[in-house]
């Protein structure tokens, strides 16, 4: 359906995005916006697999952190999906320890002479995970208990990641990440625009669906539920009636498989996805349309607040420090093309 609407096929886009080029563009953006330097370790590396890379992060001449990137899928030995983990946190209280993070992805490995290429989804995912890694590695907090991602409130852990994830949706930046594996040409400008336009495809439906899940989760975990004769499914149907333009299908049993809120650690916390998206969109919207110099200034501000302060202060305070005000919920609606 979306292929017909937008006139391109996701898989064919891969040819424009060799992984090396995407990483180069991503690290170039980070260096420019946040004032650090990222250098790949050359030569032998003692890591858990030969495909793993290691990068050193410098600020001026000072080494401040390390980052492993484990990019490729290894069916049978590596979990699916993508994630960021702390290998060790910054600690200058009990020892002198710089932070080291790892970003794991599951991209297709190179085959023969053909380089590894990335889909747009994989690019956005990589930016997301590296956003987490920046909060972990660019911390200025010396106490391991609240440096980096430690002690960051549950509903704020996705702000840094979702903030960085916005950048590949900029047509100019996206073209900068591209270099066709055969022709060496960048992604054509009109195709870049179509790729980016897809983000607003059915954005309203996706938004109300997330609200339905979030509100159902909160109501299920609220005191007093269930009253006699009520059931979780009936509750979800009532929420759907209030939030969706059409009622849930009578056979809809999504709730039975909604493991996030039963076994996935998101009980009464599923709302945090939309909440941190709201905050990250608000932060990102300041970058949209800003000049290169303004973006650098904004980037340094993000670096000194969102990325630097970790869980040493309440997330709401860090946000106000960065933005100079409380969150504005209309930013996400603008970003998703739901209001002008
Ligand atoms: Zn995340």
Q: What is the mean pLDDT of residues 198-227?
A: 93
CA distance 128 to 277: 12
Please name every residue paired with 85 in a beta bridge, in sequence order, or none if there are none.
102
Give me the chain's average pLDDT, please.
Answer: 94
Q: What is the mean pLDDT of residues 122-131?
A: 97
Catalytic residue list: 129
Domain spans of the chain, in order of start: 8-200
State the distance from the centre of ligand 1 to the C-alpha of 104, rounded, in angstroms.
12
pLDDT value for 57: 98
pLDDT per residue over 37-91, tens digit each?
A: 999 999 889 999 999 999 999 999 999 999 999 999 999 999 999 999 999 999 9
Asked if residue 186 has pLDDT above 90, the reply is yes
State the distance from the centre of ligand 1 to the C-alpha of 226, rounded, in angstroms.
32
State the distance from the centre of ligand 1 to the C-alpha of 113, rounded, in angstroms.
33
Please name every residue paired with 70 in a beta bridge, in sequence order, or none if there are none.
104
CA distance 277 to 156: 9
pLDDT value for 2: 58
State the distance from the centre of ligand 1 to the C-alpha of 84, rounded, in angstroms.
8
φ, ψ of residue 250 in degrees (nearest 5): -60, -25
State the distance from the centre of ligand 1 to the C-alpha of 1, rounded, in angstroms.
28
Residue with the larger pLDDT of the pair 36 and 44? 36
Q: What is the mean pLDDT of residues 95-106?
A: 97
To the question of domain 8-200 being in CATH 1.10.1370.40, the answer is: yes
């Amino acid at each position: 359906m979306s292929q017909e609407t937008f006139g391109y096929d996701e898989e064919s886009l891969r040819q424009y995005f060799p992984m090396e080029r995407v990483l180069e563009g991503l690290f170039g953006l980070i260096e420019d916006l946040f004032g650090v330097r990222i250098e790949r370790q050359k030569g032998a590396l003692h890591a858990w697999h030969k495909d793993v890379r290691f990068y050193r992060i410098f600020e001026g001449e000072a080494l401040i952190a390390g980052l492993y990137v484990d990019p490729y899928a290894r069916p049978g030995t590596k979990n699916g999906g993508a994630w960021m983990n702390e290998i060790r946190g910054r600690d200058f209280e009990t020892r002198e320890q710089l932070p080291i993070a790892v970003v794991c992805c599951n991209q297709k490995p190179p085959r023969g002479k053909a380089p590894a290429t990335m889909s747009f989804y994989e690019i956005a995912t990589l930016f997301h995970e590296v956003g987490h890694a920046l909060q972990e590695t660019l911390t200025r907090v010396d106490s391991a208990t609240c440096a980096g991602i430690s002690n960051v409130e549950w509903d704020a852990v996705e702000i840094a990641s979702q903030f960085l994830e916005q950048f590949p949706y900029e047509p100019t930046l996206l073209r900068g990440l591209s270099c066709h594996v055969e022709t060496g040409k960048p992604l054509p400008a009109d195709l870049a625009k179509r790729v980016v336009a897809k983000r607003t495809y059915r954005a309203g439906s996706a938004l109300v669906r997330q609200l339905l899940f979030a509100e159902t989760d909160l109501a299920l975990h609220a005191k007093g539920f269930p009253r006699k004769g009520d059931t979780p499914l009936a509750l979800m149907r009532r929420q759907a009636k209030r939030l969706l333009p059409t009622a849930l299908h009578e056979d809809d049993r999504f709730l039975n498989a909604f493991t996030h809120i039963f076994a996935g650690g998101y009980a009464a916390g599923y709302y945090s996805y939309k909440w941190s998206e709201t905050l990250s969109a608000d932060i990102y919207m300041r970058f949209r349309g800003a000049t290169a110099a303004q973006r650098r200034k904004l980037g340094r501000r993000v670096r000194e607040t969102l990325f630097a302060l970790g869980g040493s202060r309440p997330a709401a305070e860090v946000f106000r420090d960065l933005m100079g005000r409380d969150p504005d919920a209309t930013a996400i609606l603008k970003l998703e093309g739901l209001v002008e």
